[in-house]
Amino acid sequence: MNADLGYPEPWQPRPRGREKLQEALKIGSPKRNKRLQTGWEGFFPYYAGFPELFVREILDSAKLRPDAVVLDPWNGSGTTTYAASQLGLKSIGIDLNPVMIIVARARLLPPSEADHLRPLAATILSHLRASPVTPADGDPLLAWFQPSAAKVVRSIEQNIRRSLVGSMTKSPDGIHLDRISGTAATLYVALFAACRHLAVSLRSSNPTWIKLPKADDDRLDPTAYAIAHQFAENVRGMSKALAAKQEAEESSGAEFTAGSSTIQLSDTATMALAEGSIDFVLTSPPYCTRIDYTAATRVELAVLAPLLKVKPRDLGRQMIGSVQVPSGPIEIDESWGTTCSTFLAALKQHPSKASGGYYYKTHLDYFDKIARSLGRVSQTLKPGGRAVFVVQDSYYKEIHNDLPRILAEMGVLQGLSFSGQEDFHLRSMSDINPGRKTYKRPMGATESVLCFTKPD
């Protein structure tokens, strides 16, 4: 027992917890495997995502009741909501990044809609010449594309918006992106993917990262034909993958009804979900590795600009894992647990530049947001409900940030009972980071699958 806090040390009962865990849930590797990203799923690659098979096996083995509700509070590209709907379960997916709302909505498009995607894309492209749009001054697309190319991308975007986004999304009280239709979302995803494809010259060693052009002359300058062709090709591929899914479902002969899914644009630190309404949480929280989750989707945010309520910079500040210094002071809270406060004390005292200033403040911001979010997630669970979190550890210089252990402690302090964990060793981006040699630390990272239950 941890004498200070009066709860069992999370990893102490791990062997017993592990047996119980394996008995109850089938936990495969959460590592993303390129070979499994084929067909419809292949159109939703997202660097921080977990594989559909991993989610499907856990949900399947959880033996949930048919009316059970599954929640992913950090839904990203919507792997959990997609897998839940495939198993006929109700689900709710939350994310703060509007790009991820569009991606998760598109992923849920029923296969029966495959047939109209290509004619729709053809109509949208046919309007291009007739009604081209000149991007407004300050249009963020102009930071990526030369004006002639930005004009084509904005014209396609505007045609999608004009023909497929109605008054439910653009209502008098503002834009509700989470009400966008699956078809509109799918065409937006095809346009996102076209922009990423055309930005190949701006890719960095991190495959998900596209560098903003440094000078106006470095901006992308594809022809109108190249942009339109890439968009049409993406729609063709998506409609083919969807049609193949439809065929597979029909030939299996099994009656299939997808579970309903709600995708919500909200901040987990302040979200309002009904208390005790969720049966199962399956999620992967933002990691504490200084990933700016909005910066990785800057091109997509530029495409979506006319539908955004907030500026990308403000959105970046709200994100868990923000690289911006928080606006006010934050104090360490007891509910963060002892491992977290010990880690923060070591980080603050580190002799390297900015450790006690900038890095300390951004880490306080991370733990404050994640602790408040965990409190909300715990409240939404029904008594007897379960929660599974996929979490990765990392290093600050040579100091181990044992995020799995920190979240296990935080979960317990937020009223959950810890039932065990499975660890998987991964190669990580930090292996190619020069910091690994300066500060002695092991190769790779550990990705842990943490399991909790809400006591009755």
Ligand X SMILES: C[S@@+](CC[C@H](N)C(=O)[O-])C[C@H]1O[C@@H](n2cnc3c(N)ncnc32)[C@H](O)[C@@H]1O
Please give the residue ranges that form the binding site for ligand X (CB under 6 A): 46, 48-50, 74, 76-77, 79, 94-97, 100, 267-269, 284, 286, 293, 318-320, 369
Nearest to 71 by CA among 250, 278, 248, 236: 278
Q: Give me the least distance between CB of 185 and ligand X, in Å please.
A: 15
Between 291 and 399, CB nearer to ligand X: 291
Q: Give me the least distance between CB of 8 and ligand X, in Å please.
A: 28
Between 230 and 428, CB nearer to ligand X: 428
Between 99 and 164, CB nearer to ligand X: 99
With contact defined as beta carbons under 8 Å apart, do 452 and 386 qualify?
Answer: yes
Which ranges of 211-337 does DSSP label H, i.e. alpha helix?
Answer: 224-252, 298-304, 312-318
Q: Give me the least distance between CB of 73 and ligand X, in Å please.
A: 6
Between 230 and 289, CB nearer to ligand X: 289
Q: Give me the least distance between CB of 102 and ligand X, in Å please.
A: 12
Tokens linked to 293: 């989750």
Residue 291 DSSP label: -
Q: Give me the least distance between CB of 245 and ligand X, in Å please.
A: 19
d(CA 181, CA 177): 9
Between 43 and 145, CB nearer to ligand X: 43
Torsion of CA 237, 242, 243, 246, to 10 degrees: 160
Tokens linked to 453: 């239950």
Tokens linked to 147: 């004006």
| Phi, psi (degrees; rounded to nearest 5) at 15 | -60, -45
d(CA 219, CA 199): 9
Residue 132 to residues 157, 232, 452, Cα–Cα distance (Å) = 11, 17, 54
Q: Give me the least distance between CB of 322 and ligand X, in Å please.
A: 8
Tokens linked to 412: 């317990």
Q: Give me the least distance between CB of 376 and ligand X, in Å please.
A: 10
Between 139 and 300, CB nearer to ligand X: 300
Q: Give me the least distance between CB of 432 and ligand X, in Å please.
A: 20
d(CA 376, CA 270): 8
Between 100 and 117, CB nearer to ligand X: 100
- Measured from each CB, the residue nearest to ligand X is 76
Between 188 and 293, CB nearer to ligand X: 293
Place of tokens 């495997």: 33
Burial group, residue 430, by CB count within 10 angstroms (0-12, 13-18, 19+): middle
